[in-house]
């Protein structure tokens, strides 16, 4: 299984050259082989709500809601891996071993590890420090 990190999801959503390269590779896989995490969903929803909170004029408000709607639509089409009890326990271990890494990254890593998956990300500087975590950059 391949798990899309938030950065790869964002590239796909922006639909630039890097996002199109990722889409081509994903098209070669079965839908059941590709997922993302509830943590990436949380990060992206927070970002969209931030845009909405800053919007003051009607067009910006409408645009912010359209972005939020598109995000909801995007997440309906992909497997969303949970942060469950097993992920929580793995996260606790990672926090002890990698106290300087970001908490959200450690949550994503814990989900990927317990699912014996490969994380698709550009963030090798942080995720690359985690022993046993398989990484690929498809951008």
Tokens of residue 32, six digits: 């059941």
Residue 77 burial by Cβ neighbours in a 10 Å radius (0-12, 13-18, 19+):
exposed
Q: For the chain, give the mean pLDDT.
A: 97
Question: What percentage of the chain carries pLDDT values higher than 90?
Answer: 99
Q: Locate the domains of the chain by residue range.
A: 2-42+80-136
Band (7; pLDDT cuts 50, 70, 90): very high
**CATH class of domain segment(s) 2-42+80-136:** alpha beta
Q: What is the pLDDT of residues 115-135, one digit of tens each?
A: 999 999 999 999 999 999 999
The C-alpha R_g of the chain, in whole angstroms, comes to 16
pLDDT value for 2: 98
Cβ atoms 137, 120 nearer than 8 A? yes
Q: What is the pLDDT of residues 62-86, one digit of tens each?
A: 999 999 999 999 999 999 999 999 9
């Amino acid at each position: 299984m391949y798990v899309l990190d938030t950065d790869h999801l964002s590239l796909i959503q922006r639909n630039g050259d890097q996002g199109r390269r990722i889409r081509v590779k994903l098209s070669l896989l079965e839908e059941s082989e590709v997922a993302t995490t509830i943590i990436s969903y949380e990060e992206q929803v927070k970002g969209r709500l931030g845009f909405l909170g800053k919007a003051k004029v009607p067009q910006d408000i409408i645009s912010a809601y359209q972005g939020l709607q598109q995000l909801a639509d995007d997440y309906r089409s992909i497997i969303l891996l949970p942060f469950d009890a097993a992920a929580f326990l793995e996260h606790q271990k990672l926090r002890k071993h990698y106290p300087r890494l970001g908490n959200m990254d450690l949550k994503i890593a814990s989900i990927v590890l317990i699912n014996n998956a490969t994380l698709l990300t550009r963030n090798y500087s942080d995720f690359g420090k985690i022993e046993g975590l398989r990484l690929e950059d498809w951008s």
